Structure 1
Amino acid sequence: MEILTKGSILVLCMVLLMGCGTDAEDNGDAKTQNIEHQIQGPTLENTQKEEQETEENQKTQENQPEDSSVDYDLTQMGSDMVYATVYQMMMTPEQYEGKTFRIQGSFHAEYYEPTQKYYEYCIIKDAMACCAQGLEFVWGDGTHTYPDEYPAENEEIMVEGTFETYTEEGDTHLYCRLSDAELIF
């Protein structure tokens, strides 16, 4: 029985070694090229490719406006990061109080019966477009009238404003919004 077990283990090891030998032969050229690249340094082809990628990155950055007046430009973030940032703003609003934001999403307005007012929102969807966060905003000094001066429902908009928290009279809930906002549609 002991000989049978040792023989089985020996056969198993031989099969595994043959499998490794096959992989090494199939990938041998790629491994050798990688080792040679590490020893000899970059090839002319790789250097040209890296230079081209660097130039493309610089052109992309040049085409994007640099705006130091905005603390958080969510329009330059990926959709997952935007969603996470807006979620964080709702969870810890005191960290963002007084900061300026630029956001992009779809327009939505909602009438709230207890206050008898319309509230305007920029709705931001995540990467899967299954979940959404809405951020209220006040356009300019708040004198714009809905629906006459506002975009159509679900129209794409960009909003830039200062993050603030507030409470409604007779309500203990803390609300967040972008105040003195510029609205682009």
Structure 2
Amino acid sequence: MRIVAGIDEVGMGPLAGPVVAAAVVLGPRHGLSGLKDSKQLTERARERLAGEIRARAQAWALGQACAAEVDRLNVLQAAWLAMRRAVDNLALTLDLALVDGVHVPVLPCPARAIVRGDARVPAISAASIVAKVARDAEMRDWDAVYPEYGFARHKGYGTAHHLEALARLGSCPLHRMSFAPVRDARRRS
């Protein structure tokens, strides 16, 4: 039986925090229902499904690229780096990786890109959910370190509250300095 993983990333758009990717291998009888693109689920549904996925998947792993890597590489290359790290962290050797998107990153196994794969392929949907839940949890943890930015609330996205905090406080080490709103806030401070 071929070992196929779904791979997806989250966190390309935020002004702060890592890009997180997940690789998930679902067995043919995984028994999971309600899998879909993580953006189409409530936070509560994502949390519930992520627990079920982690318990029932044949294998799953996370990888990430930090804000400094986003700045150094660019956000797309950082996302691909996070995907490679997720595959490298899997306990299984893959025969194929199905990646959400248009482009195929360089991975240590054959890979195929699937447009809107997070809505069409259960293993990619599962990866989307696991990655989103993990990144959100990490941003809540960072909120305890940098409470003035409100990371628990907006997860690093460029909300009005976050932009106001940037304008008032400048950036912190979690911010992506190559992103215009962060760069502009640095110039003003």
TM-score, normalised with respect to structure 2: 0.20
Structure (1 or 2) with the greater helix fraction: 2
* Higher RCO structure (Cα 8 Å, ≥6 apart): 2
- Which structure's CA Rg is the greater one? 1
